[in-house]
Amino acid sequence: MTSGTTHIVGAGLAGLSAAVQLVRGGHKVVVHELARHAGGRCRSYYEPALGLTIDNGNHLLLSGNQSALDFLDAIGGRHLLVGPAQSEFTFCDVKSGARWVLRPNDGQLPWWVFSERRRVPETRALDYVRLGRLLFANGHETVTDKIDSGSGVYRKLMYPVLLAALNCDPAEGSATLAGAVVRETLARGGRACRPLIAAHGLGAALVDPAIAFIRKNGGDVRFDTALRGIEYENDRVRCLKFAESGLDLEPGDSVILAVPAWVARTLVPELKVPTEYRAIFNAHFKIAAPATMPKIIGVINGTTEWLFAFEDRLSVTVSNADRFNDAEREPVARQIWSEVAKIAGFEDALPPWQIVKERRATFAATPAQNALRPSARTRWPNLLLAGDWTATGLPATIEGAIRSGETAAKLATAKGF
């Protein structure tokens, strides 16, 4: 156990995860955050155009995301997740109007693939067996190197699922990362695939309780604190240079750098990180969802990819969205609303709306970019890295971010500085 203080730079989910892990073990923690709020790319905020509190981006958790659920259990936010009692995913093809519900059975023996009522329409059991090829991918292969992109199970299931998980076209996406997603979800049975969303927002479930937990357990969280540089001396970090002053580290102190990859690259000499990123955009519509509408719907053959139903709004997520970075907002909103209205049974009249774009939402999960992800360790023993862009073995997801924080915290407590 380290006797010094661990300074965590960044209060996104990776930094918060590390801080929660450390204070649970009785360690001294100070979190330094550039912004005036926590959460990073996973936060809630009040949107004046809607008069609502919305999330910066829609995020889905699965019941098999064990690190995320353990984190929520620790901070007291798990009860704020909602989802079906069993694993089921509703899909809608906006072109044909067809709808179906995917229902994996709970156990690991996937007998559901033999049931026409549980699997994707017009697919065969053998199509699902062939997905197992993803589990044996090498680091250079893409998703479509391993599975047939022309099959119905790819077009109607794996394409939308992996597009969201990888945030890039699966044709260029890392088969290794796709295999990790399959291994931790479908391969473990329906118990690991139950979809969960934060009904009252990401801030209420994941962020605010984490800040409260850290402070309650003796940790310090400092906002509006900009790290400008790091001073190195021999084999250790000696000083953190903030905008207002420097912070000299004591011999037992350590640093967990939980900032975006492009920021870390400017602070750590010769650090290799992913260099390509993909956008995500979310469209929010101020209208109550029908009472019978599923909480989440996968959408095929539309601009809309995933539709989330909240009490006060309908929200849409579009991944790999660089093509919309410079698009006019209102035509895009109208196009998406025409699809949402068709799915939900509303009139075409556009309700109050807002589009939120995150241009560098995640690194591009291609084989080449995945190979650039660094480990949590650096060549300075008292400097560790955390973030969904580090080598977690997963794509850039909530589970990956939280897992990276856990890893950094364990390394910080495993050695003395």
* Residues shown for the chain: 417
**For helices 175-184 and 159-166, angle between their N-to-C axes, nearest 10 degrees:** 110
Centroid of chain to Cα 2: 30
Residue 265 has pLDDT above 60, yes or no: yes
Mean pLDDT of 21-44: 96
What is the C-alpha to C-alpha distance for residues 258 and 325, in angstroms, rounded to an integer?
Answer: 26
What is the C-alpha to C-alpha distance for residues 128 and 119, in angstroms, rounded to an integer?
Answer: 9
Q: Are strands 28-32 and 5-9 parallel, antiparallel or unpaired?
A: parallel
In order of their start, the domains of the chain are 5-44+202-275+366-414 (3.50.50.60), 108-115+122-189 (no CATH)
Q: Which of 215, 223, 214 is nearest to 20 (CA)?
A: 214
Q: What is the pLDDT of residue 414?
A: 86
Q: What is the percent of the chain where pLDDT is above 70?
A: 99
| Mean pLDDT computed over every residue of the chain | 95
Instruction: Please give the model's pTM, rounded to 2 decimal places.
Output: 0.95
Mean pLDDT of 154-160: 96
Type of residue numbered 336: I
**What confidence category does residue 1 fall into, taking pLDDT thresholds of 50, 70 and 90?**
very low
Type of residue numbered 246: G
> pLDDT tens across 286-310, in order?
999 999 999 999 999 999 999 999 9
Residue 127 has pLDDT above 50, yes or no: yes
Mean pLDDT of 257-266: 98
**Would you say 313 and 54 are in contact if contact means Cβ atoms under 8 Å apart?**
yes
Q: What is the pLDDT of residue 107?
A: 93
- Which SS3 state, helix, strand or coil, does residue 47 take? strand
> pLDDT tens across 343-361, in order?
999 988 999 999 999 999 9
